[in-house]
Amino acid sequence: MAPSLSEPFSDSSVLIDFVINQGNGVKGLSEMGLKALPKQYIQPLEERMCMTNVQAQESIPIIDMSNPNDLEVEKSICEAASKWGFFQIVNHDVPVEVLENVKDATYKFFGLAAEALEWKDYLSLFYVSEEEAFALWPSVCREQVLDYMRKSEVVIKQLLKVLMKGLNVNEIDETKESLLMGSMRTNLNYYPKCPNPELTVGVGRHSDVSTLTILLQDEIGGLFVRGNDGDNWIHVPPIKGSLVINVGDALQIMSNGKYKSVEHRVVANGSNNRISVPIFVNPRPSDMIGPLPELIENGEKPIYKQVLYSDYVKHFFRKAHDGKKTVAFAEL
């Protein structure tokens, strides 16, 4: 039974049934035209975005990738990964058409079905093989997602090569390539319009568990990155055709802390629906991750221990989004 507008979801089991079991998602809630946010989505005050903490004059670096082997470009990538942990790339090799197609496919998918978390619905696609993707992924988006992943691989390899060079790791053999990018997951995120955006979050504060994340966002905006001073938040402005790149915990650990996996969050929006499509480039679940041996051989003191990547990810998902605390799991 659909819940009535006059008494929407005072009972949590009705809400869970509507959003999850019946598959309506947060999208279903948004489209009911609720006057107020259901209480289950109201976040504690300290987790809500306070606009006085936004640093409007700051922005993360925007890097032109037309000449990825140019020394100045290499330098700006490594500096951005050390200082910010976040940057946007423009003039990369992923065709704008591929990006547009995967955004359209995301809209199409959420026209069909949804599941829920925070004020956000998402579909998570773990890549195993093309055959499996053809068998299991929704047909409305699988071609576009596969194309987006395939075409992004070039830029992912370029970035990892440059970032490794910045650590004086000049050879990426098969084992290292697998450690850096042995598994990939693409999420289709949908943040429906929200009746009380200031009371909730699209995605709470977190850092990613990936090596690198490649994020495509639409033109709405709402992604904020923790500024260098630790208190403020910096908006990541949508730039058509760009990809947002961020360092994840696995790369922070492997680089022995040189590259930073930075907290970020997504605010809910009172006027527009928003989509984003991150590719999480990860080690394999069975890999041990820790500071790269080359760094230790060069005399660096390790600040992280070796951990099984699947244990690290399990640890991340055991707790609610809670900022940067996951990485403490690997600290020595």
HSE toward the beta carbon, residue 144, CA cutoff 13 A: 21
Q: How many residues bind Fe ion (CB under 5 A)?
A: 1
Binding string, residues 154-193; x marks residues near Fe ion by CB under 5 A:
----------------------------------------
**Token representation of residue 200:** 């909730």
What whole-number distance in Å separates Cα of residue 167 and Cα of residue 188?
32
Beta bridge partners of 281: 184, 212
Q: Least distance (Å) from ligand AKG to the CB of residue 246?
A: 8
Would you count residue 189 as binding ligand AKG (CB under 6 A)? yes
Least Cβ distance, residue 41 to ligand AKG (angstroms): 17
Does the protein bind Fe ion through residue 263 (CB under 5 A)?
no
User: Cβ of residue 49: shortest distance to ligand AKG, in angstroms?
Assistant: 13
Least separation in angstroms between residue 248's CB and ligand AKG is 9
Residue 50: partners with Cβ closer than 8 Å, 6 or more residues away: none
Nearer Cβ to Fe ion, position 172 or 220?
220
Among 32, 102, 223, 225, binds ligand AKG (CB under 6 A): 223
Tell me, by CB under 6 A, how many residues bind ligand AKG: 11
Q: Cα separations (Å) of 199 from 40, 196, 271, 331?
A: 11, 6, 15, 34
Q: With the CA atoms of 248, 107, 221 and 121 taken in that order, what torsion angle do they form, in degrees rounded to the nearest 10?
A: -60
Q: Could you say which of 8, 28, 278, 290 contacts ligand AKG (CB under 6 A)? A: 278
Residue nearest to ligand AKG (CB): 276
Stretch that binds ligand AKG, among 78-86, 146-154, 215-223, 296-304 (CB under 6 A): 215-223
Which of 15, 266 has the CB closer to ligand AKG? 266
* Beta strands in 102-199, from DSSP E residues, in sequence order: 116-117, 120-127, 183-191
Contacted by 24, from Fe ion, ligand AKG, none: CB < 5 to 8 Å by type: none
Comparing C-alpha atoms, which of 290, 278, 275, 286 is closest to residue 207?
278
Tokens of 238: 């949508």
CA dist 236 and 252 (Å) reads 21
Q: Which residues bind ligand AKG (CB under 6 A)?
A: 187, 189, 203, 208, 215, 217, 223, 264, 266, 276, 278
Q: Which residues bind Fe ion (CB under 5 A)?
A: 208
